[in-house]
Amino acid sequence: MRLELMTSPAVAAYLAERPGIVIPIGATEQHGPDGLIGTDHLCPEAIARRFGARDGVIVAPTLAYGMSQFHLGFAGSISLRPSTLAALIQDLVASLAATGFTRIYFLNGHGGNLAPLRAAIQEFYAARSFAGVTEPCPVHCRVRSWWELDGVDALRKALYGAAEGYHVTPSEIALTLASHPDHIAETDRPAPPPLADMILHGGDNYYDAADFRRRFPDGRVVSDASLATRQHGEDLLALAVDDLAKDFFGFCRSV
């Protein structure tokens, strides 16, 4: 049930039954020599839409643009500043709250979104807290990246181990092989550059775009997406839909 393909009265009827909505959020950024630029939003979109259609849950239009500043050194990458992404999230949450949703679930597909996304949700609540409102806010938000869902996480570790890496991961490439088979080839995908060609940074963070390009000249970060297969993608997708269903409905029931 894609929100954009429903009518307003149908949404009103849904809200009488269910409190929740899923918002896929990702990025539009380089994914190495053969990954799709939209990988990070196509993955959560595919999972959320399959889940929404199967279980009768509303899925909002995908947030295709995310916080990808460190990828701006590669053609076709588009980024929002963290503060812009945060403003966007606050407005979505406030809109959904104004029209009656009380369980808002962000299914994320890009690690760089997490800090602005969480900051935005806290900023939304802060307005109430500073104003000293004594009634708890009925609107709850939840953020999950698709790869941290239980079954998905177990499978991707089992399939790829350290080759999963940090960017252009085989699991996300597998997922796009399943969801967009016409746009990415299953075979003859390039092997990853040797680790020796990368200047690893000292932790889990990225700096600016020029620094990223210096460290990872072809855009991939310690991952070997040549391991991905379409069948892996189908399996990951099926697990993700099941995991999401469990997590989403639990969230909807929580008080």
Q: Which residues bind Ni ion (CB under 5 A)?
A: 39-40, 172
SS3 195: helix
Could you tell me the smallest distance in angstroms from the CB atom of residue 65 to Ni ion?
A: 14
The count of residues interacting with its own copies (CB under 8 A) is 104
* Contact status: 189 vs its own copies (CB under 8 A): no
Can you tell me which of 30, 108, 169, 171 binds its own copies, judged by CB under 8 A?
30
**Cβ neighbours for 169, distance < 8 A, ≥ 6 positions apart:** 147, 156, 160, 223, 225
- From 3-11, 151-159, 223-231, 233-241, span contacting its own copies (CB under 8 A): 3-11
Binding partner of 231, given its own copies, Ni ion, none, CB within 5-8 angstroms per partner class? none
* Contact status: 208 vs its own copies (CB under 8 A): yes
The type of residue at 255 is V
Can you tell me which of 50, 102, 137, 229 binds its own copies, judged by CB under 8 A?
137
Strand order in the sheet with 20-25: 58-59, 20-25, 103-108, 140-145
* Contact status: 8 vs its own copies (CB under 8 A): yes
- From 95-103, 149-157, 159-167, 228-236, span contacting its own copies (CB under 8 A): 95-103
* Contact status: 187 vs its own copies (CB under 8 A): no
Task: List binders of its own copies among 65-94 (CB under 8 A).
Answer: 65, 67, 69-70, 72-84, 86-88, 90-92, 94
DSSP single-letter state for residue 2: B
Comparing CB distances to its own copies, the nearer of 238 and 252 is 252
Binding partner of 42, given its own copies, Ni ion, none, CB within 5-8 angstroms per partner class? its own copies
Residues 167 and 193: beta-carbon distance below 8 Å = no
Comparing CB distances to Ni ion, the nearer of 47 and 139 is 47
Tokens read off for 216? 């990872």
* Contact status: 185 vs its own copies (CB under 8 A): no
E strand intervals along 127-218? 140-145
Residues 168 and 221: beta-carbon distance below 8 Å = yes
Task: List binders of its own copies among 144-173 (CB under 8 A).
Answer: none
Label each residue of 147-179 as H, E or C: HHCHHHHHHHHHHHHHHHCCECCHHHHHHHHHH
For helices 170-179 and 39-55, the axis angle rounded to 10 degrees is 60
* Contact status: 201 vs its own copies (CB under 8 A): yes
DSSP single-letter state for residue 156: H
* Contact status: 251 vs its own copies (CB under 8 A): yes
Cα 165 to chain centroid distance, Å, stands at 17
Could you tell me the smallest distance in angstroms from the CB atom of residue 225 to Ni ion?
A: 10
